[in-house]
Structure 1
Amino acid sequence: MPTLPGDASRSSDIQSVDRKADATGALARLGIRFTAWAERWFPDAFIFVAIAVVIVALGALANGAPVSSVAKTFGDGFWSLIPFTMQMAFVTIGGYVVATSPPVQALIDRLARIPRTGRGAVGLVATATMLSSFLSWGLSLIFGGLLARALARRPELSMDYRAAGAAAYLGLGATWAMGLSSSAAQLQANPKSLPPNLLPITGVIPFSETIFLWQSLLVATILFVISVMIAYASAPTPVSAVTAQDLGVDVSAKQERLDPPAQPGEKLEHWPLLNILLVIIAGGWIWQEFARQSWIVAISNLNTYNLLFLTLGLLLHWRPKRFLIAVAKAVPATAGVLIQFPLYASISAILTGAKNASGQTLSEVISHAFVSFNTTGSFPLSMGGYSAVLGFFVPSGGGKWLLEAPYVMQAANELKVHLGWAVMIYNAAEALPNLINPFWMLPLLGILGLKARDIVGFSFLQLLVHLPVVLFLLWALAFTLTYHPPVMP
């Protein structure tokens, strides 16, 4: 990455403080050096998905599929995931709009008055961001970042701003995929969102068989407790803490002020009644959705989920103009989703649609290999480890699921592994590389005014503990579940 003005002096200041770091500092600095290396040598995440397209296409050709078949499946698949792509973009937008509303900002300011120490402040950020991640990973990122900034405005805490930033990222690195915005669980619960070629393999898997399994809730609870403990214990003491002021970050509160309407037409942009009427109309539809079915089924529909957040954002921002400003600020964070998800859909189509002369797809070849190297007992460890490694190179829960699902779910069927638990194996393992991958950090880093290298040292500590704990739980709890064949809509 290019060197920005002031980076050299800032780096020198941080190093001088880090020399005084306590026992946890050595491991944190190792993580920071690793991230600095990754930022220099790793390209944008788009490059990884582009390479994946080429590799899968070459694999299909090597499997005997004709060039025309590979090209056709690529083009046919490219647009097959547009509804889900937009849905995931709106998860980000909805979370941002709610988190930046005046009432939520007031809540953040009240929470920021609670801690009495810097370590307590970091623990609070970790708690808040992981709890909010169960509702929405988009909300988690923005809420956690704004809370860290609010706490940094209390100099008497001597809070390490880097540790607080890492704590604000824990929702994405630990618990989001176990919650309501889990991309894989959402996909599997919504047959209209699934690519047609994947549905026969997996069937429809409701939330009751994925994120609301007691086994899933147990994993989420354990991860939550462990993560908060590590965040608190690894936060530097006041002697060695690097504050926002040390880093040269301006954390002063900046209220978005609306200029009074200059033209008659602009008065409508400031008219709360429009927001209220929209909330009433949207709320009527949402109420009907929850009244006609179980709330678990209702909330598992991404359209309902996203409209709920947007409606809440309309209400909390009160005026149309303020709501539109929040949406405009949220849209840049969706760029990676919008351009990469269609390519993921193409990869899934090539995997499952490009056939050789024997009628065999590349997905079937990989699934047979997966089965040959695994047993029912080893499948959770094998799939979990594989998903975690692949997740560093393909940092997208929903997109990566479309790559893996065709063959890992086919393997789960053949090995008689509970299909809902296979989804949760993916969810828990897929979140692990987020702890050291800067892709999904971007919206948070923009709020914090930091670089990935500033916070990854602390999140790397989390990864060292999470990895063995998660893999063990996925393996042990798999024995408590029984396989059921795919259920078609």
Structure 2
Amino acid sequence: MTTAMPRTEIVSEKGLARVAQSMARWTEKWFPDAYVFALGGVIIVAIAALANGSSPVAVVTAFGDGFWDLTAFTLQMAMVVLTGYVVATSAPVARLINKLAAVPQTAATAVSFVALLSMSVSFLNWGLSLVFAGLLARAIARRVDLRVDYRALGAAAFMGLGAVWALGLSSSAAQLQATATSLPPELLKVTGVLDFGTTIFTWQSLVLLAVMMALTVTVAHLSAPRGVAIRTAAELEVSLDDQPEPTQARTRPGEWLEFHWILPAILGLMTLGWLVAQFLTKPFLTVISSLNGYLLVFLVLGLVLHKTPRNFLQAVTKAVPATAGILVQFPLYAAMAAVLTRAVGSDGLTVSEHLAEFFTSLGGGGGFAVIIAIYTAILGIFVPSGGGKWLVEAPYVMQAATDVQMNLGWTVQIYNVAEALPNLINPFFMLPLLAVLKLRARDLVGFTSLQFLFHLPVVLLLVWLLGMTFSFVEPVIPPTP
């Protein structure tokens, strides 16, 4: 049972650690469960649509029609958790995680270490970052020689998603803009194709990434609870047993293949052959940024690493409960997006269009960059889907950027860095990590909200200053086939 902290714990902290503790205590008491947060979000956007003059019929129609819009994405996100969990709990990866867990020597260093690795892995793939960093946090928490706050470790593990995910190779917006066949015709006519050389790999974007990582690690280190203020996993009544169930002995001839490595090995060779063919026929960045390809590789990699089908299925069974929150919550966010973008008001505009019209009418130049960042962050609280929201937001945002002569590649990166901000206060993308950590959103949000307070002004300042180093480049529109 969780008990209130003695007064001595409250006054023992100083600086950011004390602020983080205060915010953590507040969120533990007042922050609702992530599912309640999603239910409340649906109601809020419905009220906003009604206030905009939309009819009740239009609102409920958008709600119902949009409820399953993210079905494929929901399955993909559930598989991200499942495959990441299965791979990370295999014997070889578990040994690597345990070796990394032995590196930090102090509680504060452990927290900042997890944050650094979480963001580093997230640059390659945010899905892997969630599960890998979560299991690293659990491994550090199991150390008997180091007393570390489990909530702070969990919040640090989330920093890959909460700070820099959209500045990396798995950025949904950058991927979409780099692939002509993925862009809606109306957006393609405005922006043309923007490859990674104009978005992710500009020096301005890399500077932005480096600053955000340094800031996040520093805040994580300084805000980590120390001394008697630390709350361990045991004190939070969290089990840290990640050992797979012992495999039952084979009892009949028909089970022979279940206990043999031959089928996983053959499937692994087939997947390797497919991957080689992909690299030979497609651009490198296209291959590594494919979510479906990532899921295929990691699912089969998990099978190979567990050696036998029986071991693999045991790991899958243990991972499946971690997907429950995603399966019941993602449809609510799809419904929210539909109400925002489809429920037309009395003046013929949706709530989303009114918001865009307001922010983009405030001016160009550095002010435009700040406005777009603020707008993206606000909308992301209610529609936390980087790729789906970009398809909704991009047509009018990129047209406005063209009108005010803002560099289009940098506009994508403004969206990307601002897109991460609401993740620090909205538990949507925390769900997979929470399942791994066996914590609730309220356990982490106090620490992630503190990061938000530092990230917001730095992001707004950097998108303004770095934006002044760009010049407008006319988009190259591909010919209509």
**Normalised by the shorter chain, which TM-score bucket?**
0.7 to 0.9
Contact 2:49 2:340 (8 Å CA) reproduced: no
Q: Which residue of 2 aligns with 1:350?
A: 342
Within the candidate set 146, 156, 170, 1:167 is matched to: 156
Which whole-Å deviations, capped at 9, do the CAs of 1:441-472 have from their partners, x for residues lacking one? 23323333333333333223322221111111
Q: Which is further off, 127-136 or 436-445?
A: 436-445
Q: Deviations over 1:395-453 (max 9, x none)?
A: 33234334433432232232232223222212211212222323322332333333333
Question: Is 1:423 paired with 2:415?
Answer: no
* Match 1:485 to one of 460, 475, 481: 475
Q: Sort the Cα spacing of 1:127 and 1:22 in 2 relative to 1 into closer, same or farther, 3 A.
A: same
CA–CA distance in structure 1, aligned partners of residues 14 and 465 of structure 2: 36
Change (3 A) 1:297 1:254: closer
Selected match of 1:255 from 241, 244, 254:
244
Scaled by the length of structure 1, what TM-score is found? 0.83
- The match for 2:45 is 52
Tell me, yes or no, if structure 1 residue 373 matches structure 2 residue 365. no
Q: Structure 1 341/281 Cα, relative in aligned 2: closer, same or farther at 3 Å?
A: farther
For the residue of structure 1 that corresponds to 2:244, the secondary structure is coil
Separation in 2, partners of 1:260, 1:487: 63
Kindly tell me: are residues 267 and 407 of structure 1, through their superposed partners in 2, closer, same or farther at Cα, counting changes over 3 Å? farther
Structure 1 residue 386 displacement after superposition: 1.9
Q: Deviations over 1:42-87 (max 9, x none)?
A: 833254246536745875848xxx978x999888877766555544
Instruction: Report the residue type matching 2:9 in the other structure.
Output: V
Change (3 A) 1:203 1:109: same
| Displacement after TM superposition at 1:375 (Å) | 0.9
Residue 381 (structure 2) pairs with residue 411 (structure 1): no
**Contact 1:81–1:195 (Cα < 8 Å) also in 2:** no
Asked if the contact 2:67/2:332 (under 8 Å) is kept, the reply is no
1:244-272 C-alpha deviation (Å, 9 max, x unpaired): 33333332443333223444444333332
8 A contact 1:121–1:159 mirrored in 2? yes
Equivalent in 8, 12, 21 of residue 20 of structure 1: 12
Greater shift, 282-291 or 50-59, is seen at: 50-59
Distance 1:79 1:379 in 2: 34
User: Which residue in the other structure is 2:226 paired with?
Assistant: 237
User: Which position in structure 1 is the counterpart of 2:114?
Assistant: 125
- Tell me, in whole angstroms, the C-alpha distance in 2 between the residues paired with 1:252 and 1:71: 45
Please state if 1:440 is matched with 2:432: no
Q: Distance in 2 between matches of 1:420 and 1:53?
A: 33
Shift of 1:110: 0.8
Q: Deviations over 1:159-205 (max 9, x none)?
A: 22222122111111111121222232233334555556655445443
2:428 & 2:254 partners in 1: Cα distance?
A: 41
Specify the alignment match of 1:462 in structure 2. Answer: 451
- Give the 3 Å change call, closer, same or farther, for CA 340–97 of structure 1 in structure 2: farther
- The residue correspondences of 1:52-131 to structure 2 (distance < 5 A) are 52=45, 55-56=48-49, 59=52, 61=54, 83-131=72-120
Separation in 2 of the partners of 1:159 and 1:362? 45
Look up the match of 1:332: 324
2:199 alignment partner in structure 1 = 210
Structure 1 pair 374–88 and aligned structure 2 pair: CA distance change class (3 A): farther
The separation in 2 between residues aligned to 1:41 and 1:244, in whole angstroms, is: 19
1:141 CA displacement? 1.8
Q: Does the 8 Å CA contact 2:81/2:432 hold for their aligned counterparts?
A: no
CA contact (8 A) 1:130 1:176 kept: yes
The one-letter amino acid paired with 2:145 is: E
C-alpha spacing 1:451/1:11, structure 2 compared with 1 (3 Å): farther
Work out whether residues 77 and 348 of structure 1, in 8 Å CA contact, stay in contact via their aligned partners in 2: no
Query: TM (normalized to structure 2)?
Result: 0.85
Query: Structure 1 stretch 116-125 or stretch 70-79: which is displaced more?
Result: 70-79
The residue identity in structure 1 corresponding to 2:474 is: H
Contact 2:188 2:477 in 1 (8 A): no
Q: CA RMSD in A?
A: 3.5
Quick check: 1:246 aligned with 2:235?
yes
Distance 1:131 1:293, change over 3 A: same
> For residue 26 of structure 1, what is the amino acid of its counterpart?
R
- Quick one: distance in 1 between partners of 2:290 and 2:225? 42
CA drift of 1:383 comes to 1.1
Q: Deviations over 1:192-226 (max 9, x none)?
A: 55556655445443333322222222211111122
Q: Percent identity?
A: 46
- Tell me, yes or no, if the aligned pair for 1:244 and 1:250 is still in contact at 8 Å: yes
**How many Å apart are 1:388 and its aligned residue?**
1.8
- For 1:187 and 1:175, the matched residues in 2 are separated by 18
Q: In the aligned structure 2, how far is the partner of 1:221 from the partner of 1:419? A: 22
- Tell me which of 147, 160, 167 is aligned to 2:136: 147
Give, in whole Å, the separation in 2 of the partners of 1:204 and 1:33: 47
* 1:283 alignment partner in structure 2: 272
1:337 is displaced (CA, Å) by 6.6
Does the CA contact (< 8 Å) of 2:333 and 2:383 recur in 1?
A: no
Output the CA distance in 2 between the equivalents of 1:37 and 1:433: 21
Instruction: Check whether the contact 1:50–1:343 (CA below 8 A) recurs between aligned residues.
Output: no
Say whether the 8 Å CA contact 1:133–1:140 is kept in structure 2: yes
Cα pair 1:370 1:408 within 8 Å, conserved: no
Structure 1 residues 142 and 166: alpha-carbon distance in aligned structure 2, compared to 1, 3 A threshold: same
| Contact 2:89 2:242 survives alignment (8 Å) | no
Distance 2:478 2:153 in 1: 45
Consecutive unaligned residues in structure 1, runs of 5 or more: 1-5
